[in-house]
Amino acid sequence: MGKRERAKAANREAILKAARRVFAQLGYEAATVRDIIRGTALASGTFYNYFRSKEEVFEALADDGARRFRPILRAARERAKDFEQYLESALLAYFRFVLEENRHEGRPVDERQPHLRTDTPEMTAIYEEVRLGIEDAIERGLAPRLDSDYLAHACIGLAQEVGAAMLRRSPPDPVSAARFAAGLVLKGLPGASRKE
Partner DNA sequence: GCGGAAATTGACGGGCCGTCACTTTTGTGG
Partner DNA sequence: CCACAAAAGTGACGGCCCGTCAATTTCCGC
Contacts with a second copy by CB under 8 A lie at 29, 55, 83, 108, 110, 114-119, 143-147, 149-151, 153-154, 156-162, 164-165, 177, 180-181, 184-194, 196
CA-to-CA separations, 93 to 34, 132, 149, 159, in angstroms, rounded: 36, 17, 21, 11
Residue 136 partner contact from a second copy, DNA, none using kind-dependent CB cut-offs of 5 to 8 Å: none
The answer to the question of residue 42 lying near DNA (CB under 7 A) is yes
Q: Distance between CA atoms of 97 and 72, rounded to whole angstroms?
A: 10
Q: How far is the CB of 158 from a second copy (least distance, A)?
A: 5
Euclidean distance between the first and final Cα of the chain, in Å? 59
The answer to the question of residue 3 lying near DNA (CB under 7 A) is yes
Helix (H, G, I), strand (E, B) or coil at 45: helix
CB 172 within 8 A of CB 166: yes
What is the rounded (10 degree) CA torsion for 160, 121, 14, 112? Answer: -30
Taking CB under 7 A as the criterion, the residue among 13, 29, 46, 64 binding DNA is 46
The answer to the question of residue 124 lying near DNA (CB under 7 A) is no
The answer to the question of residue 118 lying near DNA (CB under 7 A) is no
In the complex, the residues that contact DNA under the rule CB under 7 A are 2-5, 7-8, 11, 32-35, 41-46, 48-49, 52-54
